[in-house]
């Protein structure tokens, strides 16, 4: 069918081995390039002498600081190579020119960038895209949530909208979209022999998560979508319910799941009316929201979130715990599934990180610790620019 995307060293190696990727300073490609690098792509991060932006972000490992101790960097730079380079220098230009793929986050005022050679894929990531009246507007994770329609529907109706602002989640979504676009452009290159520019907007990347409250829906039923706290204004039980050590999520749509839940509620509360078949209709449960919520809370408030999870699932009811990072660190399923990968870092010490998000071929994934500042400068300059 198609030839490989690039001259791969040997068959059976990691799928993206031999692909040269350059990542310039910025927050919105790192999440995905970490994974691409783990699948074999040679990802070189061009760092200014002061270090990449993520090196400066807290939290830091205990007893450490910038530039090596940031846990953002320790996580997001795994598997990559660090090259320290003066922005705008000839050497920087030579490295950019050697890449198959470049991820760039140009600052305003943005001049539409272009690939450095015919076969290069150049992914320009900006808050709002390269064209249009707000092409030069500045952005952030919070601003992306706001502009993508996601903040407005998150939070309680009597409080301001909220976002996952401390998580950089919008940046990670953007990174995954950027990676998909880059890979897609490499498939186009197989057919055309040519690279191209990718115009990746952070607003659009996150607007792709909007359909459940989206424009087609709201125009069709003319119902304004607002914030509904931690329970969705669709049916009951649908949302978070308090338990002995936090909260559990109980979201029931299918009649069979409700019947299982109703049986359990009757056991706990003794209120036989809950078994009335009328409640099998989620619309009827929504009309009786206060009653259903009160009964559900009576059940959940007596148990821990993990017990609710396990016992609920045993009864074939879709209940999940509201996990904190501490819960997830100890989660038995993640532990048993080999989710964690170990690394040892000269400054941070031994630690473990989330590993492969999916399995594939036996040799697809490999993991290394985050690089020290400039750790690969000499090596990469020698191997990438020797011919130029």
Partner 1 sequence: MEQSTRPLEGLKVVELSIAIAAPSCGRMLAYFGADVMKLESLQYPDVVRLFGSAWARTPEYAAVFTDTSPYLPEMNANKRSIGLNLKVAAAVDAAKKLVANADVFLTNYSTPAVTDLGLDAATLRELNPRLIYAALPAFGSDPSLPYYPFISWGPNQAPLVGLDAVTGFPDQEPAGVASFAPPDYFAGLHALMAVLTALEARDQTGEGSWVDLSQFGTTVAALGPYLLDEQLSGTVVERTGNRSAWYAPQGVYPSRGEDRWVAVSVTDDAAWQGLAAVLDLAGPAATGGDNGFAADAGLATAEGRRAQHDRLDAALVAWSSGRSAAQAAVELQAVGVAAHPVNDTEAMLVDPQLAEYRWYQAVPSFRFPDGDLVGGCALRLEDTPGYWEWAFPTMGEHTTEALASVAGLSEAEIAELVEQGAAYVPAEPELTLHRPYQHMLGLLGLKGAPR
CB closer to partner 1, 112 vs 378: 112
| Dihedral, CA of residue 291, residue 297, residue 302 and residue 308, to nearest 10 | 120
CB atoms within 10 A of CB 44: 27
Question: What CA–CA distance (Å, rounded) separates 47 from 87?
Answer: 8
* Of 226 and 277, CB closest to partner 1: 226
H/E element, 180: helix 169-192
Residue 381 sits at φ, ψ, to 5 deg, of: -60, -40
Check binding of 328 to partner 1 (CB under 8 A): yes
**Maximum C-alpha span of the chain:** 81
Check binding of 260 to partner 1 (CB under 8 A): no
CA 338/CA 226 separation, integer angstroms: 40
Helices of type H across 234-288: 255-269, 282-287
Among 192, 244, 301, 383, binds partner 1 (CB under 8 A): 192
Q: Determine if 28 is a binding residue for partner 1 (CB under 8 A).
A: no
d(CA 116, CA 198): 13
Q: Say whether residue 172 binds partner 1 (CB under 8 A).
A: yes
| Residue 322, C-beta contacts closer than 8 angstroms, at least 6 positions apart | 240, 246, 247, 248, 249, 305
CB of residue 273 vs partner 1: minimum separation in angstroms? 26
Please report whether residue 334 would count as binding partner 1 according to CB under 8 A. Answer: yes
Return the range that interacts with partner 1 (CB under 8 A); candidates 51-59, 79-87, 96-104, 296-304: 51-59
Q: Which is nearer to partner 1, 35 or 46 (CB)?
A: 35
Site string for partner 1, 114-143 (x = CB under 8 A): -------------xxx-xxxxx-xxxxxxx
Identify which of residues 244 and 329 has a Cβ nearer to partner 1 in the complex.
Answer: 329
Please tell me whether residue 146 binds partner 1 under the rule CB under 8 A: yes
User: Among residue numbers 200 through 229, which ones bind partner 1 (CB under 8 A)?
Assistant: 200-201, 203-205, 207-222, 224-229
Site string for partner 1, 228-247 (x = CB under 8 A): xxxxx-----xxx-x---xx
Q: How many residues bind partner 1, per CB under 8 A?
A: 159
CA distances for 269 relative to 187, 237, 262, 298, 305, angstroms: 59, 16, 10, 7, 19
Residue 43 CB, shortest distance to partner 1, in Å, is 14
Residues 298-327 that bind partner 1 (CB under 8 A): 313, 316, 318-327
């Amino acid at each position: 069918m198609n030839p490989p995307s690039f001259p791969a060293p040997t068959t059976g190696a990691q799928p993206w081995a031999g692909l040269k990727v350059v990542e310039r300073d910025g927050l919105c490609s790192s999440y995905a390039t970490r994974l691409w690098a783990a699948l074999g792509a040679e990802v070189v991060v061009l760092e200014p002498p002061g270090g990449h932006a993520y090196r400066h972000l807290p939290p830091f490992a205990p007893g450490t600081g910038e530039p090596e101790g940031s846990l953002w960097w320790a996580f997001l730079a795994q598997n990559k190579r660090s090259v320290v380079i003066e922005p705008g220098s000839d050497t920087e230009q030579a490295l950019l020119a050697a890449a198959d793929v470049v991820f760039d986050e140009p600052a305003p005022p943005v001049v539409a960038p272009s690939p450095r050679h015919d076969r290069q894929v150049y992914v320009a990531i900006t808050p709002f895209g390269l064209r249009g009246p707000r092409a030069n507007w500045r952005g952030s994770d919070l601003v992306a949530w706001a502009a993508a329609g996601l903040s407005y529907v998150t939070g309680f109706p009597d409080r301001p909208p909220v976002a996952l602002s401390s998580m950089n989640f919008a940046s990670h979504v953007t990174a995954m979209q950027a990676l998909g676009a880059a890979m897609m452009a490499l498939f186009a290159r197989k057919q055309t022999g040519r690279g191209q520019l990718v115009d990746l907007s952070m607003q659009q990347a996150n607007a792709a998560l909007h359909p459940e409250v989206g424009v087609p829906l709201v125009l069709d039923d003319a119902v304004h979508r607002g914030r509904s706290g931690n329970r969705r204004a669709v049916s009951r039980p649908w949302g978070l319910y308090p338990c002995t050590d936090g909260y559990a999520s109980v979201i029931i749509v299918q009649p069979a799941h409700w019947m299982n839940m109703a049986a359990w509620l009757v056991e706990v509360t003794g209120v036989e009316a809950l078994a009335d078949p009328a409640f099998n209709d989620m619309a009827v449960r929504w009309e009786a929201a206060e009653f259903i919520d009160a009964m559900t809370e009576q059940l959940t408030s007596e148990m821990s979130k993990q017990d609710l999870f396990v016992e609920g699932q045993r009864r074939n009811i879709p209940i999940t715990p509201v996990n904190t990072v501490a819960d997830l660190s100890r989660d038995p399923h993640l532990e048993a599934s080999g989710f964690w990968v170990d690394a040892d870092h000269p400054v941070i010490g031994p630690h473990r990180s989330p590993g492969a998000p999916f399995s594939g071929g036996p040799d697809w994934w490999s993991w290394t610790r985050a690089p020290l500042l400039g750790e690969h400068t000499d090596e990469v300059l020698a191997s990438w620019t020797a011919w130029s």
